[in-house]
Amino acid sequence: MENLSPAFITTFEASERALTTEHLDVLYGGTIQKLFDTSLQFKKNSITALIGASGSGKSTFLRSLNRMNDTVATVNGKIMFHGLNVNQANINVYELRKSIGMVFQKPNPFPKSIYDNITYALRADGEKNQQKLATIVEESLRAAALWDEVKDKLNQSALALSGGQQQRLCIARALALRPEIILLDEPASALDPVSTSKLEDTLKQLREKYTMVMVTHNMQQAARISDYTAFFHLGHAIEYDTTTNIFTNPQGAITEAYIQGSFG
């Protein structure tokens, strides 16, 4: 049996933490445990990469952070956000998700115009000022580095965009709600190399304003854009440190084997 206890887990000052999990367990169907006793702290205005093999629990962990797993799994433990445990029954998950946005593996724009894709949630939220909506659309698209490519076709269907553009639109759509944290679930896995590099540039820019947690299968990508990296194995967070340390000086034997195998 491998030793699955954490090799090293970095911590931050309370004032630096954007989000913290304490002893998080995730169970499917009440019996199948996918995540064990995970306690991680995420630093403000940084990109944290979650790496590990398929089935290591990293996606499960990520989706628990904004309560997207509620209907399919039981999540035990605490998720601390601004001093509040948001993993409680009385928490308003809709408001929570407006503060903790999410971008998915496969680009999933709505079958609506580019403009409506970005404004839909805002209008549902009661924003009626057209001027303000137009400003937000432009700013979000600029922030997602998509403005120049789509500014002349905002009323066209979002489904006509390329995969990479669609994914950046999904980021713009999340940004429009002015979240604090953005969760990214393998955002580049369905994209070609050029689109991927554009997406990575976008994420690097956004670090200035947002805290990002990103699941990725791509080690080079984790190395290129993340500040911190957490390594998951069989549902356990094995090691969590600066990206440089994880890749060049891993403490755990499993981490080292995984990194070495991945870089080949």
Using CB under 8 A, list all residues that contact another protein.
Answer: 66, 68, 81-84, 86, 90-92, 94-99, 101-102, 104, 106, 108-111, 120-121, 124-126, 135-136, 139-140, 142-143, 145, 156-157, 159-160, 170, 173-180, 201, 204-205, 207-210, 220, 223-225, 243-244, 247-248, 256, 259-260, 263
Closest distance to another protein from the beta carbon of 224 (Å): 5
Closest distance to another protein from the beta carbon of 181 (Å): 9
Closest distance to another protein from the beta carbon of 24 (Å): 18
Output 190 or 234, the one with its CB closest to another protein.
Answer: 190
Distances (CA, A) of 260 to 2, 162, 219, 248: 18, 34, 10, 10
Task: Report the Cα 160 to chain-centroid distance in Å.
Answer: 25
Residue found under tokens 């797993």: 69
Output 8 or 104, the one with its CB closest to another protein.
Answer: 104
Beta bridge partner(s), residue 81:
84
Closest distance to another protein from the beta carbon of 255 (Å): 12
Output 37 or 117, the one with its CB closest to another protein.
Answer: 117
Closest distance to another protein from the beta carbon of 76 (Å): 19
Distances (CA, A) of 12 to 20, 60, 78, 212, 243: 10, 23, 17, 16, 15
Output 101 or 164, the one with its CB closest to another protein.
Answer: 101
Output 36 or 104, the one with its CB closest to another protein.
Answer: 104
Output 37 or 241, the one with its CB closest to another protein.
Answer: 241
Closest distance to another protein from the beta carbon of 200 (Å): 9
The alpha carbon dihedral of 211, 182, 88, 119 has a sign of: positive
**Rounded distance between C-alpha atoms, residue 209 and residue 180, angstroms:** 8
**Rounded distance between C-alpha atoms, residue 95 and residue 113, angstroms:** 25
Q: Are strands 228-233 and 47-51 parallel, antiparallel or unpaired?
A: parallel
* Strand ranges of the sheet holding 47-51, from the earlier edge strand across to the other edge: 8-9, 236-242, 228-233, 47-51, 211-215, 181-185, 100-103
Output 1 or 30, the one with its CB closest to another protein.
Answer: 30
CB 145 within 8 A of CB 201: yes
Closest distance to another protein from the beta carbon of 140 (Å): 5
SS3 147: helix
